[in-house]
Chain A
Amino acid sequence: QITLKESGPTLVKPTQTLTLTCTFSGFSLSTSGVGVGWIRQPPGKAPEWLSLIYWTDDKRYSPSLKSRLTITKDTSKNQVVLTMTNMGPVDRATYYCAHRRGYSSSGVFDYWGQGTLVTVSP
C-alpha cells in the first residue's frame, strides 16, 4: 500500500525559504520507473505542478518557478525534500507530494499525500 505524507511549516514569512518533506512508504525511489512529484493548489484554484524527481535522480522543475525550487531525495529514509525560496503571499496553497508512475511525459500521479496548507504572512 502506497502512502505519502507532507510535513513542514504551516506559516512562513515573506522572503523566507519553505522546506517541505515528503515521507512515503509502500515503494522505493530506487525502483525503475518511479518518481515523486510536488504539486500545489491555491484555495479554490486548480493544481499547479512544481517539481519531479526520479529514481535516477533526474530532476524536473516548472519553468515558471525553476529559479526558486530545489528537489532532493534520500532513498534510505524514503523521503523527498522540496525547497522554495523567496516565498510571497501568492504562494499560499496546499502543497501535495505524489507518487509518479512512469518515466516519461505519459507518467501519472497515481497516489497523493493528504497535503499541507502553507500560508505566507508577516
Chain B
Amino acid sequence: QSVLTQPPSVSGAPGQRVTISCTGSSSNIGAGYVVHWYQQFPGTAPKLLIYEDNNRPSGVPDRFSGSKSGTSASLAITGLQVEDEADYYCQSYDINLSEVFGTGTKVTVL
C-alpha cells in the first residue's frame, strides 16, 4: 500500500496533452524529496523517464516533462503518441518508509 497516490488510469487521443498526478504528504514529496518517474510496458522492466522532478535522461523525448508543487508531483505528456501507452510510476523518498513508489497509472491512447 503505497503512500504516493496516482490515478489508476488516464486517457487521451493522439496529439493531446495528458497529466498524471502523484500525491504524497509532508513526509515525502512535501518534505522536499525529489520525484522520479518510470515508464513500464507489459512484461518489461520499468524505465527511467524523469529524474529529480523535471530532468529527462538522454534519449527520452521532450514531450515528457515533470513538475512538483507542495505535496504533489505531475508528469505531463504533450503530443500523446500511440507508443506512449504504458504504465507510469512515480517514486520518491519517505522519512518513515525510505524509497517509495506510486500506485501507478495506466495511460491509454484512444
> Which A residues are within 8 Å of any B CB, using their own CB?
37, 39, 45-49, 52, 60-64, 96, 105-106, 108-115
Contacts and interface: CB of A to CB of B under 8 A. Distances in A.
A39 B101 CA distance: 10
A47 B46 contact: yes
A46 B89 contact: yes
Given A46-B89, A63-B96, A106-B93, A112 B46 contact: yes
A48 B52 contact: no
A37 B99 contact: yes
B93 A63 contact: no
Give the size range of B's interface with the partner.
20 to 34
12 contacts: A45-B104, A46-B102, A47-B91, A47-B101, A49-B101, A52-B99, A106-B33, A106-B34, A108-B51, A108-B52, A109-B36, A109-B38
Contact of A46 (B34, B97, B101): B101
- Enumerate the 4 nearest inter-chain pairs by beta-carbon distance, A residue then B residue, closest first: A49-B99, A105-B93, A112-B45, A106-B34
